[in-house]
Amino acid sequence: MDQMESYTQLVMTYATDIGLKVVGAIVFWIAGRWLIGLAGRLLQQAMGRQKVDPTLMRYVGNFLAVTLNIVLVVAILGYFGVQTTTFAALVAGIGVAIGAAWGGLLGNLAAGIFLVVLRPFKVGDFISAAGVVGTVREIGLFATAIDTPDNVMTLLGNGKIFGDTIQNFTANPYRRVELKCQLAGSADHLAAMQLLREKLLAVPNVLATPAPEVEILDFNLVGPVLAVRPFCHNDHYWQVYFDGNRVIREALAAAGFPAPTPSQVVIVQQPTA
């Protein structure tokens, strides 16, 4: 009976010790996370007062958060008696798969640093990168967040972005809007081209310099196809695109140009007697 009591006392002692350590670790984790968040907010406020670029602010904030979280996890493991050298040896011995995964992460990290330093784009720019078109929301340590035009947040690895073609539509003061206009074969194409040049200048946000371009692009069975190309700032691209198509339709109809309709000539030959 005394032996059973001693075992019970031993189990209770170990359970109490482990329970206290678990509770302490939870408190340590909650307090640590709160302090990490506080440090991040203070850093963001300090850099905001110094008018630091938002791209650099978010990148530094992410780097600080990841570093402090790693320190917190190592500290909690140390609290449980796990030696950091043992932990490092365990991580080092996981194998080739984890090593390859870390290699990819380090590649994304290095690419993220280059994106911040070389600045091919910044937060708020409208870009095309790695096959995704949208507005840059955040440049993170390992990935960049892009909001597509249909309002879907898309995460791209920095390594994939940096290793692919990047188009920055916001970098230049204006861009060209690509439109087409089908004319009837009997229409006066010179009058139509001049009319469209004048009407496009009245569309809101279309630039006068460079002036809208209207030229013959191609021919088909219906008639000549005009390339209609006004210029505008990237923020107004779709507004100019839709308004430009409407102007093409309304201006030509109001001026009395014939509607472009497919036509065929059928020749019937009577057999000779």
Q: 133 is in which domain, residue-wise?
A: 116-168
**Residue 264 forms part of a structural domain:** no
pLDDT, tens digit, 9 for 90 and up, residues 225-237: 999 999 999 999 9
**Within this chain, do residues 158 and 215 fall inside the same structural domain, yes or no?**
no
State the first-to-last Cα distance of the chain, in angstroms, to the nearest integer: 131
Cite the beta strand spans of the chain per DSSP E.
126-129, 132-139, 143-147, 153-157, 166-168, 175-176, 179-182, 213-219, 224-229, 231-232
Confidence class for position 101, pLDDT limits 50, 70, 90: low
**Within this chain, do residues 19 and 78 fall inside the same structural domain, yes or no?**
yes
Q: How far apart are CA 37 and CA 35, in angstroms?
A: 5
The total of structural domains in the chain comes to 3
DSSP tag of 172:
S
Residue of 169, 180, 191 lying closest to 228 (CA atoms): 180
**Within this chain, do residues 181 and 134 fall inside the same structural domain, yes or no?**
no
Confidence class for position 264, pLDDT limits 50, 70, 90: low
**Residue 83 forms part of a structural domain:** yes
**Residue 13 forms part of a structural domain:** yes
**Within this chain, do residues 48 and 124 fall inside the same structural domain, yes or no?**
no
pLDDT, tens digit, 9 for 90 and up, residues 179-188: 999 999 889 9
**Residue 97 forms part of a structural domain:** no
pLDDT of residue 190: 95
**Residue 60 forms part of a structural domain:** yes
CATH number of the domain enclosing 14:
1.10.287
Whether residue 60 is predicted with pLDDT greater than 80 in this model: the reply is: no
**Within this chain, do residues 8 and 85 fall inside the same structural domain, yes or no?**
yes
Amino acid at 61: G
pLDDT of residue 27: 80
**Within this chain, do residues 73 and 6 fall inside the same structural domain, yes or no?**
yes
**Within this chain, do residues 50 and 88 fall inside the same structural domain, yes or no?**
yes
Q: CA 38, 106, 70: angle at the middle one, nearest 5?
A: 35
**Within this chain, do residues 164 and 194 fall inside the same structural domain, yes or no?**
no
**Within this chain, do residues 128 and 209 fall inside the same structural domain, yes or no?**
no
**Within this chain, do residues 120 and 164 fall inside the same structural domain, yes or no?**
yes
When pLDDT is averaged across residues 186-192 and rounded to a whole number, the result is: 93
**Residue 261 forms part of a structural domain:** no
Whether residue 91 is predicted with pLDDT greater than 80 in this model: the reply is: no
Among 18-22, 41-45, 144-148, 195-199, the least confident range = 18-22
Q: Residue 229, Cβ neighbours under 10 Å: how many?
A: 19
**Within this chain, do residues 53 and 128 fall inside the same structural domain, yes or no?**
no
**Residue 140 forms part of a structural domain:** yes
pLDDT of residue 58: 73
Confidence class for position 52, pLDDT limits 50, 70, 90: low
Does pTM surpass 0.85?
Answer: no
**Residue 262 forms part of a structural domain:** no
If DSSP states are collapsed to H, E and C, what string results for 184-225?
A: CCCCCHHHHHHHHHHHHCCCCCCCCCCCCEEEEEEECCCCEE
**Within this chain, do residues 190 and 235 fall inside the same structural domain, yes or no?**
yes
